[in-house]
Chains A and B, each alone.
Chain A
């Protein structure tokens, strides 16, 4: 049995795959003061549904896959550890100067970014390694110990160490690491050459600082999660989602928590690609995950998961560089919990702030007084107050009406329904804007694309969004309400290793390269024998990072073997480089020698031997709903909308809007004029 849990800002989604391969989906409110409690609540809900004790259910679990926004939130809210950076003497301003670069050259209203680690917590370490690894100046250990004294004085909670050329000769960095372990054992640290052995000191220093700053918090979180899961009966393996769209063991993530940054939404495109292929045979899809707090969008193009090679926290050149590639997902503050308000200029705004899980929308009657998108949907008749989350939570229509009327209707002089419809329209516009960012702003026309709607609140306005964008189809998978968790269930275990070994084609160092490759492959094998044990299947991909002589940006050339036997293979790889260069940049320079700089091996283990099963019919479906209710649409006013259970829709029998499709997890609104068809896979395919 496998568990996949995605902790979002509002809901904690649990997808459970039982031993027969049948999937089960559960939702519980996120508990921000102690997110693990929300996870255990989800498990308890699942156990009830199975009629088992939670311990018994967890005891059957082999894998527990977890994604969390914990790391990202900590950075955004500035609650990471008080972190110091130790750099080479003479070079204290790596994080201030960055690599220069700017967007919007004529915009002088944006301040220069602050360094990730303040200057007052950056300390210079005497000792210098040269580009060839030679020691120009020995490490001054007395000075290092003096710096440690200042770290204690400043009550530093984590330390990043990034010394020049540690990637070529790690001697000094390793020694500083040893000294830290000896003298400040309670303060976690990150060494740049261990975490991310890349050239370019700013990128390495940025990676290192971000990673160190997350260590105390993420070890606390993961330690607590692991302990409490075990106390609750779980004896299997705890895996964590990464920003690169895979999973790694929780233990390993505590050693490099930077990989958790942005990991939460990274799974939605994986699930979205799966359903777009399966249900409408599309390989280009806009995948939108509407949670309570954020709207996360990504674009799957030609079947590829969108990756960004230079991940920035925040805007390019204005935020901080992660120094690792990651799945490219954009987030905006828009979701079911987004608060509607009228600004001082009289303009209706929705979000970016959210009522979150606590206090929640006004209709939750948990103390939230401000109207949210969910409240507006309730007022409009889109959401059934008695059947929200399958009836698990009763909503108070009167509270929603009061809030919408008071905060939006009265200030704007609109009637109740008009006000509620305006809230949904503004939310729709915000979401359309986010999709335009990843489509139109990249010069890609969203018209004709497929929109995959995931997340609990997706169904409220996906038809409206698709109409605004001119999308031809909207698909809402059965598992859509927990799209990220669904992606997690189908994700691979992965690890990547990288080593620097410089050589040129006209003087190729076969022995040296083979030694490097052998080292990387040995690490892959030990991964397979350790974390990868029991994988359904695995693959190891070797890539050379190569360039023409005097270029400085490498491109990846796949190496289809594990060892160079002779000149033919060198010539083959050289040819492959010319072709790759031609393909990416439109020209090659066959007369030029090719330099190889870095070598990478990536090991991926498929954790599942079978395809994804269907969603079980949950208890929440065993209800009798009225056959119709009044719903308000901007174009038509109040109309009678047909009510259908998601699960009861007959495949291949289309249904025309206005209609509302209910499930224990979501509500899908089919606007007048739209049409919906349920596929045998369980997915709703809507023609907007």
Chain B
């Protein structure tokens, strides 16, 4: 009922304001919105199925979207949140600013965090969609995390780089890479001279351009069918509709304000206690507005963790959309009801060249998203989530070396062997495989068989670990354990940049923290030696690296978790009986059923202790 009323609102507005050549009835509005979505999906499928590096074709660490001629985000719902919410708009804007004359057949390579990019590892192809008369109507956009970008070390995450020079990445501030649908080979050769395993990069580049060209072709076909003016009328109507949905959603939330903090582990270039991010969140239900304030944060630091503007804004927006208890379209329309305040020159957005932002999409960005969703939970029990687990231990390392099975062919790639990290939410237990807050579970986890097929390694173990969940009324994800090493006759370089050894994911509203991240080297003698948070190691045959990924924080006090759920947690081996009793206050009788009387007493004691 509610929905049809909104649809009518949209129709009236579109008709009144836009006067499209053909009335935008509700069916056309729905058809066009889905059609744009399906173009985005088709671009994504093309990239997934044609990419050459595992980070694309296994993990799906990429995004696709469409931006209007006014550089407003139109689609990008089912992609990695950290790639899209803000950034597509900024990058498209930089394309127009830097290249005032756009021609059909142009394509641009962009990875500059100083021009709207997320971080240098995310190569982005932008294709302006241009009609026969030369008018620019939309920009299609493909952003993909590369296996290598020519950094000083074989990793795409240079956490300890003092600046962009030490980082070593090639930076492309929206550089024209195709003209008349042909590669500008100078650019391609430049990349091939600097990027490790250049053939792999070139294959991924072809896949990205291919995906963007499919998007272009499909938008042109839509224009053929509906006319450009109808498409533009649609974008206006769709943004209005999305804004109305956002207004309604915010009005159903209580007004309130809260602050929260989250701390990244120290690395070289940060204070000894790491980087603490402070966020202020305000829900203004009456005016249907949500604000996030990131201004109260330190200046940019001489390390690679600084956030680009795109990542800072997006990280805050992810926390917001995660916390709204209903689904609202994420595009420029709903964004009208959001304000994210950042301070230029700070660590949380707006670092200036040559500040390094090598790791901007993950580590510190999560330290923005997590406190935002926690702040929502502080405003009201029923909103927000606990913190998602920090990431990037050895289970998500960039690995490289030579493959003796294929004539010592070189390889480099990020593996996604194991991640968990989901946070307990207001209304549900953790989504187990969230990867990290900015990813929201959209990446895949590698198949062990495919990793073993493509790289000279053996995965000895991959499992979830008992009694490591972020306890709560709604539980955070447990930690996972994996162990891998090179096959006989090979060695393996492993580089990773982990957060969360010291600062694990916090729970909220009485929920307990998730398990920390841990990494170990197992020598040929079987002995385990703990590794630091940031490491570049070489494994020789017989050696393995063992990695525990971080769990997520719980939501609400564990003693409020329904008894039948705790019972099932025990039966399924997620937790031991001992933990059920100590932490959740559920006492079991010998027959395996809960002893309700003893449970009530234990829970009352836990509740009393919590209040005290």
Chain A residues engaging chain B, CB cutoff 8 angstroms: 90-93, 96-112, 118-120, 130-132, 136, 164-165, 199-202, 347, 436, 440-443, 445, 447, 470, 548-553, 555, 581, 584-587, 589, 592
Q: Which of A101, A110, A436, A553 contacts B49 (CB 8 A)?
A: A553
Which segment, of B291-299, B337-345, B421-429, faces chain A?
Answer: B421-429
Q: Are B573 and A120 in contact (CB under 8 A)?
A: yes
- Cβ-defined contact, A589 with B206, below 8 A: yes
Query: Do B427 and A108 have beta carbons less than 8 Å apart?
Result: yes
- Interface presence of B121 (CB below 8 A): no
B155 shortest CB reach to chain A, Å: 20
Residues of B near A102 (CB, < 8 A) are 431, 433, 440-442
Within 8 A of A (CB), among B34-51: 34-39, 46, 48-51
Count chain B CB atoms within 10 A of each CB in A552, A553, A587 and give the residue with the most.
A552
A–B pairs, 24, beta carbons within 8 Å: A93-B462, A93-B480, A96-B432, A98-B445, A100-B445, A101-B444, A104-B78, A105-B81, A106-B318, A106-B322, A106-B324, A106-B327, A110-B431, A112-B431, A120-B572, A165-B449, A202-B447, A440-B27, A440-B34, A443-B34, A585-B207, A586-B210, A586-B214, A587-B50
Q: Which of the segments B52-60, B302-310, B357-365, B534-542 contacts the partner chain?
A: B52-60
Chain B residue nearest to A436 (CB atoms) is B30
Pairs of residues from A and B, 10 with the lowest C-beta to C-beta distance, nearest first: A443-B35, A102-B441, A90-B461, A105-B440, A108-B425, A100-B445, A443-B38, A550-B52, A587-B210, A106-B321
User: Once the chains are docked, how many angstroms separate the CA of A102 from the CA of B318?
Assistant: 15
Contacts of B200 in A (CB 8 A): 550
Shortest B219–chain A CB gap in Å is 12
Cβ of B58 and Cβ of A552 under 8 Å apart?
Answer: yes
| CB pair A199 B57 closer than 8 Å | no
- Return the chain B residue nearest A201 by Cβ: B449
- Select B325's contact among A109, A110, A111, beta carbons within 8 Å: A109
Residues of B at the A interface (CB closer than 8 Å) are 1, 27, 30-31, 34-39, 46, 48-54, 57-58, 60, 77-78, 80-81, 200, 203, 206-207, 209-211, 213-214, 217, 318, 321-322, 324-325, 327-328, 330, 385, 405, 416, 418-419, 422, 425-433, 435, 440-445, 447-450, 452-454, 458-464, 480, 483, 487, 571-574
- The A interface, classified by DSSP as helix, strand, loop or mixed, is loop
Between A107, A108, A136, A165, the greatest number of chain B beta carbons within 10 A of the residue's beta carbon is seen for A108
Chain A residues in 8 Å Cβ range of B450: 199-200, 552
B419 to chain A, nearest CB (A): 8
CB distance from A323 to the nearest CB of B (A): 13
Are A553 and B48 touching (Cβ within 8 A)?
A: yes
B30 contacts across to A, CB distance below 8 A: 436, 440
B462 and A91: CB pair below 8 A?
yes
Q: Which of A112, A549, A553, A592 is the most central at the interface, judged by chain B CB atoms within 10 Å of its CB? A: A112
B37 touching A109 by the CB < 8 A rule?
Answer: no
* Complex: A267 Cα to B123 Cα, angstroms: 46
Q: Report whether A552 and B57 are in contact in the complex, using a CB–CB cutoff of 8 Å.
A: yes
For the complex, give the distance between the alpha carbons of A549 and B49 in Å.
12
Inter-chain contacts of A442 with B (CB < 8 A): 34, 38
What chain A residues lie within 8 Å of B49 (beta carbons)? 551, 553, 555, 584-585
Instruction: For the complex formed, measure the closest distance between the CB of B199 and the CB atoms of chain A, giving whole angstroms.
Output: 8
Contacts of B440 in A (CB 8 A): 102, 105-106
Residue contact A97 to B432, C-beta cutoff 8 Å = yes
Residue of B nearest to A554 (CB): B49
Residue numbers in A under 8 Å from B425 (CB-CB): 108-109
Most chain B CB within 10 A, of A105, A111, A132, A555, is at A105
CB pair B463–A199 under 8 Å, yes or no, is no
In the bound complex, how far is the Cα of B200 from the Cα of A581, in angstroms?
18
* B37–A551 touching, CB < 8 Å: no
Residues of B within 8 A of A436 (CB): 30
Q: Establish whether residues A100 and B385, one from each chain, have CB atoms under 8 Å apart when the complex forms.
A: no
**6 extra interface residue pairs, beta carbon distance < 8 Å, beyond A99-B447, A112-B429:** A90-B459, A199-B453, A200-B447, A551-B51, A555-B49, A585-B214
Contacts A100-B443, A553-B57; A92 near B463 (Cβ below 8 A):
yes
If A109-B428, A119-B573, A551-B50 touch, whether A201 touches B448 (CB-CB below 8 Å) is yes
CB distance from A446 to the nearest CB of B (A): 9
The interface residues of chain A lying within 8 Å CB-to-CB of B419 are 100
Q: Contacting B444 at CB < 8 Å: which of A93, A100, A551, A589?
A: A100
